[in-house]
């Protein structure tokens, strides 16, 4: 059954994206049409290339049933219903003339080409036989100058039943999945033809250059008795060039993959492929029906957000995972977001996909290093994000670049959870880099960290960077260094017993409370008895009228002040089930998609990019996979009061039993994280010459703080979004 459309009408919300790792497209539920098409999943190939263009004005289907014709977006019944019908396949349903018409939009996962399919299914649900029937497609893309419609050229390839459109911005082929009865292109625009004649005036003659060129197909359908059905459809294929030889070869390759299958078979085979992939997931027990439905969408998003383009002489794009699927604006591979996506894929047993992302990081390592002076040494993980070709890409503004050292620890955590042994060269470029970046007190040097505070005076000794370093170093087997950093993080405690956002903000500075510090517990760095006032302080300072959480306090910046679903979900993993239920409800209100931000006021209107991948789909999947697991901690060390047994249990989630759940639930063994030989000592190992952190922080984990009750945090009232 298709879900009801529940879109908040705000930027980036009215789109259901699809991708096979090559091209990406999106369906608008409110407009019943394709409204976005990108020839690449990533935003920009290199620093000197133009951004990946958005080529679609729109594309959609029409029908003629019983002699009456309509373009489906203009059907009197309205846009109908839309949602993910199977995995990452969009299904939209409308009614017309006594029939139900389904439009399927999907990017075939088993086809290594930048293509999406639009398939139409007509089912006579009435009691009368329908005759004089047809299915239509309309393709209106803008390949002209500056993304406009000027200077476009469209020609028809009769032998291949395909239109080829070219322009200054690119080249596309519109390939009929079965031979059309009629076809038309500008200047014989098919849109007014159907409205005036109920059919297309077949033709491909006339001048090829036509501003705002539009093309379309018509397929005659058989007479439909009650209960009878018919299919048709078109493939939209991005071409490397629009010349006859190049276009013809690409269309022929597509035809070879189609292998004579009709639209019905292609949809069925696509659904079977998605069902088989989803069935591979190792799912946690006890999921509600709503959680299961939302989880399926998140797993599909994680898969679709991974670039599948092959590596070559020009770059190493394969395996990168973008932070948001387009048309969400963050379709860029961030080191941090990608690490959370890798953890989530590993948690469900998708190790091939997880390792492909880690392989991308390793393959791109030689292309990193623009900020060696800021990092302190050569390194192999981008300090911010990546271009499509794997080159390092830092967000630079008037305050300088972002240099985020948390990515080094997160890469190591993600590798551990994926069961990947990091090669010595990458260990030197990640773990050794972190060790070299430690100050005498044990914290990682000042950086931009998770919320990307540009340098030139904005950098801080952020707790998030150091806690990810502690967990990453432990995952890499650098146990003494890991516990040194964990002990330093444990001293960042204010007088309320709350973990501070940074050394500079501790114990009474502004922006002292930061939702990201909850990862100290989710990543197994601190025991519950350390900084036990943290959850209460975060609830008091970050909770919004919406019922969710913003990311930091003390900021007047709009972006900081919205509700962050990532923070909600990581707090949910730390024990606040109500926030996880809230994320489920928000996703259900948006057809399963997890947005970056929702309004701080009403908690429903989407105000940021969607769907988010690592910070959305990944965070939600990790909440379900890791919730309720027993944590073990780096600090206090094993054998100390409140400490764990003999295993550090770092798996990128919330610990997880005796072996830390390091196999990610997929049954694949991973080497034990272990502890250093002196793990039974009663206090933290600070290392030779180490000194307490010179930040004036309040006291560390005093025993008197351990009695503070945390039950009130997990029992916060549930607040579901209203519509």
d(CA 648, CA 526): 11
CATH of the domain at 631: 1.50.10.10
CA 420 to chain centroid, in Å, comes to 22
Residue 151 DSSP label: T
- 8 Å CB contact between 29 and 316: no
Residue 637: pLDDT band with limits 50, 70, 90: low
**Same domain, yes or no: 337 and 257:** no
* pLDDT over 70, % of the chain: 86
Q: Take residue 533 and report the two structure tokens written for it.
A: 């006032």
Given 211, 238, 273, which residue is the final one in a domain? Answer: 273
Regarding whether 398 and 467 lie in a shared domain, the answer is: yes
> For the ranges 466-470, 575-579, 651-655, which has the lowest average pLDDT?
651-655
Number of domains, the chain: 2
Q: Are residues 203 and 306 in the same domain?
A: no
Q: Which pairs with CB-CB distance under 8 Å and at least 24 residues apart come from 556-562? A: 559/597, 560/451, 561/600, 562/597, 562/598, 562/599, 562/600, 562/607, 562/608
Quote the CA–CA distance of 217 and 200 in Å, as a whole number: 8
Domain boundary among 218, 238, 273: 273
Q: Same structural domain for residues 296 and 266?
A: no
- The predicted pLDDT at position 629 comes to 85
- pLDDT score of 605: 85
Q: What's the rounded Cα separation, in Å, for the pair 105 and 27?
A: 7
State the average pLDDT over residues 288-307.
97
Domain match, 227 and 311 both: no
Instruction: Kindly give the interhelix angle for 463-475 and 424-436, rounded to the nearest 10 degrees.
Output: 140
The answer to whether residues 422 and 455 belong to one domain is yes
Do 463 and 573 sit in the same domain of this protein?
Answer: yes
pLDDT tens across 115-162, in order?
A: 999 999 999 999 999 999 999 999 999 999 888 999 999 999 999 999
The DSSP H or E segment spanning 214 is strand 214-221
Give the ranges where 543-663 is alpha helix by DSSP (H).
Answer: 558-561, 565-573, 577-589, 619-626
CATH code at 245?
Answer: 2.70.98.10
* Residue 68: predicted pLDDT: 97
Q: Are 216 and 154 in contact (CB under 8 A)?
A: no
Question: In this structure, are 319 and 248 located in the same domain?
Answer: no
pLDDT at 232 over 50: yes
Answer whether residue 207 shows pLDDT above 80: no
As a whole number of angstroms, the distance between CA 196 and CA 226 comes to 28
CB atoms within 10 A of CB 513: 25
* 194 domain-assigned: yes
Do 362 and 496 reside in the same domain of the chain?
A: yes
Tokens of 36: 């976005």
On whether the CB atoms of residues 194 and 62 are closer than 8 A, the answer is yes
Same domain, 506 and 643: yes
**Which backbone phi and psi does 560 adopt, to 5 degrees?**
-65, -25
Is residue 283 a part of any domain in this protein? no
**62 domain-assigned:** yes
State the Cα–Cα distance between residues 565 and 571, nearest whole angstrom. Answer: 10
In the chain the first and final C-alpha atoms are separated, in Å, by 21
Instruction: Give the confidence band of 615 by pLDDT, cuts at 50, 70, 90.
Output: very high
Q: Is 591 left (phi over 0), alpha (psi -120 to 50) or beta?
A: left
Mean pLDDT calculated for residue range 220-243 = 97
Domain membership flag for residue 694: yes
Distance of CA 299 to the CA centre of its chain: 10
Average pLDDT, the chain: 87
Say if residue 137 is in the same domain as residue 223. Answer: yes
User: Is the predicted pLDDT of residue 651 greater than 90, yes or no?
Assistant: no
Could you read off the pLDDT of 414-457 as tens digits, one per residue?
A: 999 999 999 999 999 999 999 999 999 999 999 999 999 999 89
User: Which three-class secondary structure state does DSSP give residue 231?
Assistant: strand
- Each residue of 172-206: pLDDT tens digit? 999 999 999 999 999 999 999 999 999 998 776 67
Q: Is 417 inside a domain boundary?
A: yes
Give the residue numbers spanning the domain of 220: 22-36+51-273
Residue 452 near residue 388 (C-beta atoms within 8 A): no
Evaluate if residue 667 carries a pLDDT over 50: no
Q: Which of 352, 385, 295 is nearest to 622 (CA)?
A: 295
Residue 10 belongs to a domain? no
Q: Do 200 and 184 form a contact (C-beta atoms < 8 A)?
A: yes
pLDDT at position 719 is 28
| Model pLDDT for residues 697-706, shown as the tens digit of each residue | 333 332 222 2
Neighbour count for residue 363 (Cβ, 10 Å) = 17
Would you say residue 346 lies in a domain? yes
The full 3-state SS of 650-670, as one line of letters, equals CCCCCCCCCCCCCCCCCCCCC
* 671 falls within a domain: yes
- Give residue 444's pLDDT: 98
pLDDT at 165 over 90: yes
Q: Are 654 and 521 in contact (CB under 8 A)?
A: yes
Do 268 and 326 lie in one domain? The reply is no
């Amino acid at each position: 059954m298709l879900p009801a459309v529940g879109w908040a009408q705000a930027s980036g919300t009215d789109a259901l994206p699809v991708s096979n790792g090559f091209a990406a497209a999106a369906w608008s539920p409110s407009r019943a049409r394709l409204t976005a098409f990108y020839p690449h999943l990533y935003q920009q190939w290199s620093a000197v290339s133009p951004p990946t263009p958005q080529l679609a004005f729109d594309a959609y289907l029409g029908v003629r049933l019983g002699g009456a014709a309509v373009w489906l977006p203009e059907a009197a019944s309205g846009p109908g219903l839309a949602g993910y019908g199977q995995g990452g396949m969009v299904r939209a349903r409308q009614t017309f003339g006594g029939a139900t018409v389904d439009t399927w939009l999907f990017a075939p996962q088993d086809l290594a080409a930048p293509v999406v399919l639009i398939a139409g299914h007509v089912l006579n649900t009435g009691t009368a036989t329908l005759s004089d029937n047809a299915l239509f497609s309309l393709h209106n893309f803008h390949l002209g100058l500056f993304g406009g419609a000027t200077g476009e050229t469209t020609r028809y390839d009769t032998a291949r039943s395909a239109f080829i459109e070219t322009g200054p911005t690119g080249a596309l082929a519109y390939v009929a999945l079965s031979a059309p009865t009629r076809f038309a292109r500008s200047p014989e625009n098919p849109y007014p033809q159907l409205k005036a004649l109920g059919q297309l005036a077949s033709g491909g003659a006339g001048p090829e250059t036509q501003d705002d060129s539009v093309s379309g197909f018509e397929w005659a359908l058989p007479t439909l008795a009650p209960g009878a059905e018919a299919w048709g459809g078109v493939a939209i294929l991005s071409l490397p060039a629009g010349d006859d030889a190049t276009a013809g070869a690409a269309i022929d390759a597509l035809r070879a993959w189609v292998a004579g299958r009709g639209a019905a078979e292609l949809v069925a085979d696509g659904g079977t492929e998605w069902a088989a992939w989803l069935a591979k997931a190792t799912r946690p027990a006890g999921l509600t029906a709503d959680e299961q439905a939302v989880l399926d969408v998140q797993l599909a998003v994680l898969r679709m957000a991974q670039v599948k383009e092959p590596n070559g002489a020009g770059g190493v794009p394969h395996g990168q995972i973008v932070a948001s699927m387009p048309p969400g604006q963050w379709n860029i591979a961030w080191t941090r977001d990608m690490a959370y996506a890798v953890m989530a894929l590993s948690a469900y047993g998708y190790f091939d996909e997880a390792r492909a992302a880690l392989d991308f990081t390793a393959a791109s390592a030689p292309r990193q290093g623009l900020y060696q002076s800021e990092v302190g040494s050569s390194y192999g993980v981008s300090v911010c994000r990546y271009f499509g070709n794997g080159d390092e890409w830092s967000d630079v503004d008037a305050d300088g670049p972002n240099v985020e050292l948390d990515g080094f620890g997160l890469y190591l955590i993600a590798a551990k959870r994926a069961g990947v042994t990091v090669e010595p060269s990458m260990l030197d470029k990640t773990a050794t880099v972190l060790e070299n970046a430690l100050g005498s007190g044990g914290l990682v040097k000042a950086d931009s960290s998770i919320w990307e505070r540009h340098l030139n005076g904005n950098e801080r000794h952020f707790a998030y960077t150091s806690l990810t370093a502690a967990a990453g170093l432990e995952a890499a087997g650098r146990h003494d260094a890991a516990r040194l950093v964990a002990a330093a993080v444990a001293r960042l405690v204010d007088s309320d017993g709350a973990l501070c956002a940074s050394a500079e903000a501790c114990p009474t500075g502004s922006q002292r409370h930061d939702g990201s510090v909850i990862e100290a517990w989710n990543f197994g760095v601190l025991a519950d008895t350390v900084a036990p006032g943290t959850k209460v302080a975060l609830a008091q300072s970050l909770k919004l009228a919406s019922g969710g959480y913003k990311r930091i306090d003390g900021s007047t910046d709009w972006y900081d002040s919205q509700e962050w679903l990532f923070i909600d979900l990581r707090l949910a993993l730390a024990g606040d089930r109500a926030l996880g239920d809230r994320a489920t409800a928000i996703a259900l209100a948006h057809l399963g998609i997890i947005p970056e931000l929702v309004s701080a006021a009403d908690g429903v209107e989407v105000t940021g990019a969607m769907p988010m991948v690592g910070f959305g789909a990944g965070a939600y999947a990790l909440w379900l996979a890791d919730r309720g697991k027993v944590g073990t901690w780096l600090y206090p060390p094993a054998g100390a009061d409140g400490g764990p047994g003999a295993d550090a249990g770092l798996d990128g989630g919330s610990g997880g039993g005796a072996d830390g759940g390091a196999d990610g639930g997929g049954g694949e063994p991973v080497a034990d994280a272990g502890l250093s030989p002196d793990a039974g000592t009663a206090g933290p190992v600070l290392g030779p010459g180490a000194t307490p952190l010179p930040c004036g922080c309040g006291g560390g984990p005093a025993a008197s703080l351990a009695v503070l009750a945390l039950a009130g945090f997990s029992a916060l009232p549930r607040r579901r979004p209203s519509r």
